[in-house]
Structure 1
């Protein structure tokens, strides 16, 4: 198992700061989850930065509980109610999501809002280079990922009951405004390139051509693959999902190909063909074929935008770690990542004439 997979896979004892009233949860699950039979035991998943996530074992069955973190939170962040809603709706369309059991908005039960869903038993790949797989299987994993994102972008929000899940137009502009505000709310140091991006991005935004459901954080480790087949059986972590520009979603994932290895283990500079991983051009071509596009113009803008947005997310994780309520022990290391991300984002802005 690779170092990344070893670090993030599986569960651990619940961190002291993230413990909750297990008896209260037991009572709630008996009342709200069909077929539930206690007593229950609770462990915490190692992975995950934003919303603490727990494995619940009880009566020979396994569930997953995802909750808002305790402590002072940024406005509109950690929207577990939205995660519950979008996964519940997508489950009716045949899109791969876990079965949802219930949403609890009563903070008195365990201290924060939460929802419970099925535990999906499969493979999660934390290392994008897929070192534990043979070369001839890696391409199939990425093709399945590509097909799953294209499937999501083909879902009609209105038919899925998500017509009011967000404003479908001007997604990029709203995201720039949101993450500029969130970044400033969690700012710990002045980063010149972030300030330049906040000023430049609004006036450089291209016109949105299509609208659909966007995941907001679509990447390899946010999905569960079948135990033996190169097939996605569940997409997780919908906290940032809304209606918007599918190209923002796709280009965010495409950053894997543009990021250097020291930045989220990116592919830049790697010989992907020798690894069996599709090149950026191949990956773009497959997505375009699946979604009926001729090509993806202005990718440099989308790369600048996505790096800026991700820097804002990472800054929030770091800020929470200083307050002691981030859910991952490595969160403090994220503080050093924000400036390199912002600086790199600005290089794409410059390529767009900034």
Structure 2
């Protein structure tokens, strides 16, 4: 039983009253840490906050556990949650366990040689349909009526991510304050309030090959009640990236033939949900800002030796391209 960075398997086994455990860090996560754990007979996935520098409210295991539990039985596919531990003395931080689900979080082409153009098109539609299904869930009906404060959501989001930026600011970032100010000056009025995921994208869902489907939506750490178009704007950013070859924002899967365009995703969402998407430019600009702040926070943790995983040395190079894309997107903001 070899311990992992951020996970003492001996203490975990004692806490769970299981035989000795083995595990591995699941690569690809840029914020909360995710591990695959087994006692030989049972298999779980464990989530815990990052090591060291943690932004306020951004890594709340109890909130993530609560929303996944609440969505069980709805049209939104989620794993079954098994255990929540809020005692940091067990492994050094709060954590929760959930069942391991089939499928793969697709990011690179070599993960899905089976993905034909027809399947890519179907997966595009399924991804949008699951998002529309999430936004159709009545929060009060699933016990999440008090999960957030929808009134003033967008203004608070701009303020919140501005504060997160200030908490992780360690270098000059030309244009990022201008982008924040433009967003703050042009906040739209939300048409409705729903459960929002907060980080919805292709590699935050598990995809099965046969049949091609989504078995689970993952990474609910930023879920709340708010404006659903914030999810759609962020999905567009993850879909289009920053225009680089081998774009690290989109990954390489979305370059395969058959995937819908961002505009086609938007049209399908509007049709499926009945939402007015005429002001989506603001939401897209905000998504660029939010992602820039998230990645700058990861860059900060990496430079101070407080996070683990591959590729973190390149994360900081994305902040300014995202800022430039966000400023460009504000050209369509009314």
Range with greater deviation from structure 2 (241-250 or 121-130): 121-130
* Structure 1 equivalent of residue 261 of structure 2: 279
* Structure 1 equivalent of residue 206 of structure 2: 224
- Displacement after TM superposition at 1:310 (Å): 0.5
Alignment partner of 1:178 is 2:160: yes
Given that 2:107 and 2:250 are in contact with CA atoms closer than 8 Å, whether structure 1 keeps it comes out as no
Alignment partner of 1:26 is 2:13: yes
* Aligned mates of 1:96, 1:332 — CA distance in 2: 33
Give the 3 Å change call, closer, same or farther, for CA 207–109 of structure 1 in structure 2. same
Work out the number of aligned pairs and report it: 329
Moved over 4 A (4+): 128-131
Q: Deviations over 1:315-351 (max 9, x none)?
A: 0010010121223231221111111111111111233
* Aligned mates of 2:262, 2:52 — CA distance in 1: 41
* Structure 1 equivalent of residue 178 of structure 2: 196
- Displacement after TM superposition at 1:110 (Å): 0.8
Q: Deviations over 1:124-182 (max 9, x none)?
A: 21138986212221101111111100100000001010001100222211111011001
* Aligned mates of 1:259, 1:194 — CA distance in 2: 17
1:56-205 paired onto structure 2 within 5 Å: 56-127=37-108, 132=113, 133-205=115-187
Query: Among 244, 253, 264, which residue is 2:248 paired with?
Result: 264
Instruction: Give the SS at the match of 2:198.
Output: coil
The Cα RMSD (Å) is 2.3
> Which stretches in structure 2 are left out of the alignment for 5+ residues?
none
* Aligned mates of 1:68, 1:212 — CA distance in 2: 25
Instruction: Give the SS at the match of 2:295.
Output: helix
Range with greater deviation from structure 2 (229-238 or 68-77): 68-77
Q: Deviations over 1:49-101 (max 9, x none)?
A: 11111111113221011112232322222111111010011114342111101
Give the 3 Å change call, closer, same or farther, for CA 350–14 of structure 1 in structure 2. farther
* Aligned mates of 2:131, 2:317 — CA distance in 1: 30
